[in-house]
Structure 1
Amino acid sequence: MFVWLRVPAPWRSDDFAANALARGVNTMPASAFAVDRSTVEHGVRINLACATSREQLARALKVLARTLQDRPSALFGTI
């Protein structure tokens, strides 16, 4: 089962996915699903079925929530 998380500005989907991965949570940015070079929605796909326990899923979702509250500069410098 998958869910789609739209990421708010100033995030871009690739930056958000990289930041989440640096925190131990793997997501797929919208660009991975693009079929051409048109503008892509800023969002990430989250796989809920890969967690080995409810606790692991809860921890990962908390990491994503904290990542959303941060600014991209936390990992990539001043934007």
Structure 2
Amino acid sequence: MHVLQDLLVPLHKVSDALEWAHQEMEVYPILLCPHRLYKHPYKTMMYPDLGFEEECRRGDTAYAQMYTDIGLYYAP
């Protein structure tokens, strides 16, 4: 089994990312793993979208934004 692509996308964009993966690659199985990115007073390697707390989409809080890691795998 090989990893073809690994994406980290905001939860509200998962359906778009899955549609893109299907249209462009048609590779299965797909692993979905939720992640919560916390808002810190300092910048880190991964940081929530600017202003995410103002919209507060499903899964988000005032201090964290939900992301999903999408792993695309295949066997040659």
Tell me the TM-score range normalised by the shorter chain: 0.3 to 0.5
More strand by share: 2
Scaled by the length of structure 1, what TM-score is found? 0.32
Q: Which entry has the higher C-alpha Rg, 1 or 2? A: 2
Scaled by the length of structure 2, what TM-score is found? 0.33
